[in-house]
Amino acid sequence: MTRGEKTAIITGGGRGFGRAFGTALAAEGMHVVLVDIAGAVAEEAAAAIRAAGGSAEGLAGDVVDEARIAEVMAQGAARHGGIDILINNAGLHSDEYGQPITKLGYAKTRRLFEVNVLGTVCCTLAALAHMKRRAGASIVNIASSAAHMGGSAYGDTKLAVAGLTITFARELGADAIRVNAISPGLILTDTIRAELPEATKARVKAMQLIGDDGEERDIVEAMLWLTSDKARFVTGEVLRVTGGMAAGV
């Protein structure tokens, strides 16, 4: 089965990494389904892909709404009889959710875990029936270098995502589905440039072993490799793309 006969579902697909992932996979001939809690944003991103000659649709969906996500997966699977790639990218990560738990409070901490952790579970379970035994079926979860650093609720959610990656790799291996994760470091997307204080950027960059700025394309290239046949023998892994910031055993 060629990429042109495959379908990819990308959560958080309306902007940032999600939109970049969709653009890259569509450029390889795949049909991409961009899912976002803001349906209009997802459709705008899909329209841009179609305008460039790709195949895409944008759908509204909250990743913790089990019934809606089941509908989204079924709709996405209809194009080519199943789902070949699922990218669990949706997550809460803005400055609002980067606060200590004592400042976040219970309600926001609960929402953070619901979206980042249970959203990954919800989407994976919903996609499973459509991915079983598909040649080259692959799931990529988006974790974070914060998972390896400790000290934040956000990092704790991403540590849980890394753990889920291993668990699902074990459980879904019999269905010929590979499950991996990417842990981005400091990647200077438009959002990060706008939200992150310069002092914080400088502090994090000083921890890198590579002096260059991390760019969105670095994460896109990691995704393309993990979802390709070149990574056919890779599952249950967390690929840290951090410029060496998270280097360690």
Residue 239: phi and psi, rounded to 5, are -90, 115
- H-assigned helices in the chain: 16-27, 39-51, 66-77, 101-113, 119-131, 146-149, 153-172, 190-195, 198-205, 216-226
87/34 Cα distance (integer angstroms) = 10
SS3 245: coil
Of 55, 57, 20, 62, the C-alpha closest to 187 is: 20
Is 97 labeled as catalytic in the residue annotation?
no
> How would DSSP label each residue in 153-215?
HHHHHHHHHHHHHHHHHHHHGGGT-EEEEEEE-SB--HHHHHHS-HHHHHHHHTT-SS-SPB-
Looking at 10, 154, 161, 184, which residue is catalytic?
A: 154
**Which are the contacts of 136, defined by CB distance < 8 A and separation ≥ 6?**
1, 6, 84, 227, 228, 229, 232
Active site amino acids: 154
